[in-house]
Amino acid sequence: MGNAKIRLFVDQPIGAGQAVALNEAQANYLFAVMRLGVGASILVFDGQNGEWRAEVAEAGKRKGVLICVEQTARLRMPPDLWLLFAPIKKARTDFIVEKATELGAARVMPVQTRFTNADRVKVDKLRLHAIEAAEQCGGTFVPQVDDVMPLAKVLADWPANRRILWCNEHLAGVAEALPKGGDTGPWAVLIGPEGGFSQEEQDRLAAMPQVVQASLGPRILRADTAAVAALVLWQAHLGDWVGDQG
């Protein structure tokens, strides 16, 4: 831990002098676990107004109040990048959401494909994972995590100007497939289920002008690895990892 500051996401707009009411879990964490008292400083962010230093004004067993004092970081939006993925085993699905947040995706969309069993996906839990990851990685933005939607419906309503990086096998590498730097704009990364896409889904995707297909190397990657790899390569080529911004 060392001098690691406590960072807390708060679900209300923050600003100078703004009072923030803590819920039971937050109060328990700050006052019981971390043993903070009145006057202690932590960092808070709401996903919209950057990061603020806030001081504990009231510390109770099940509640408490923070007062925002000064802005410590401006809001840093990630690039306009969505992640579409077919939910897999719980731990790996949690992992995908955590990594998507760390790596700078703006929106996470679990999709139901022909070969996906998404019955047990708990989107509320996924949202908590995104918040925790943002608290951990110093982010000031928490990606939106959508409810599970059928892939067919998502593609039927797909915006004409949003490209899709579809990570498929036996193709040119992502580095070659992506347009060269500068030309960003809205994008999405699409990761299929471990069982792969159905023929119908593959035909549908291949027919979309927005789709760019690329390979993630000669080895077969698990879906969670593929999601991380594709986000990393997109960020490094078109996103905010590009050197002069990194």
Any contact of residue 74 with its own copies (CB under 8 A)? no
Quick check: 65 and 38 in contact, CB under 8 A? Answer: no
Give 8 or 174: the residue with its C-beta nearer to its own copies. Answer: 174
Q: Which of these segments, 49-57, 59-67, 137-145, 156-164, binds its own copies (CB under 8 A)?
A: 137-145
CA distance 242 to 245: 6
Give 56 or 223: the residue with its C-beta nearer to its own copies. Answer: 223
Any contact of residue 1 with its own copies (CB under 8 A)? yes
Of 6, 67, 137, 148, the one binding its own copies (CB under 8 A) is: 137
Of 139, 142, 163, 191, the one binding its own copies (CB under 8 A) is: 139
CA distance 31 to 36: 5
Quick check: 165 and 189 in contact, CB under 8 A? Answer: yes
Virtual CA dihedral for 110, 116, 117, 122, nearest 10 degrees? -10
CA distance 218 to 229: 13
Q: Which of 100, 201, 186, 95 is closest to 150 using CA atoms?
A: 201
Give 46 or 224: the residue with its C-beta nearer to its own copies. Answer: 224
Any contact of residue 149 with its own copies (CB under 8 A)? no
- Min dist CB 67 to its own copies, Å, is 26
Q: How far is CA 140 from the centre of its chain?
A: 12
Any contact of residue 16 with its own copies (CB under 8 A)? no
Q: Which of 155, 160, 102, 148 is closest to 122 using CA atoms?
A: 148
- Min dist CB 99 to its own copies, Å, is 6
CA distance 201 to 116: 12
Tokens of 53: 């230093």
Any contact of residue 176 with its own copies (CB under 8 A)? yes
- Residues 206-235 within binding reach of its own copies (CB under 8 A): 215-222, 225, 228-229, 232-233, 235
Of 40, 128, 152, 242, the one binding its own copies (CB under 8 A) is: 242
Any contact of residue 150 with its own copies (CB under 8 A)? no
* Count of alpha carbons within 13 angstroms of residue 246, beta-carbon side: 10
Any contact of residue 245 with its own copies (CB under 8 A)? yes
* Contact pattern from residue 90 through residue 129 relative to its own copies, giving x for each residue in contact according to CB under 8 A and a dash for the rest: -----x---x--xxx----------x--------------
How far CA 239 is from CA of 23, 75, 245, in Å, comes to 35, 17, 9
Q: Which spans of this chain sit near its own copies (rule: CB under 8 A)?
A: 1-2, 76, 95, 99, 102-104, 115, 136-139, 170-177, 195, 215-222, 225, 228-229, 232-233, 235-237, 239-246
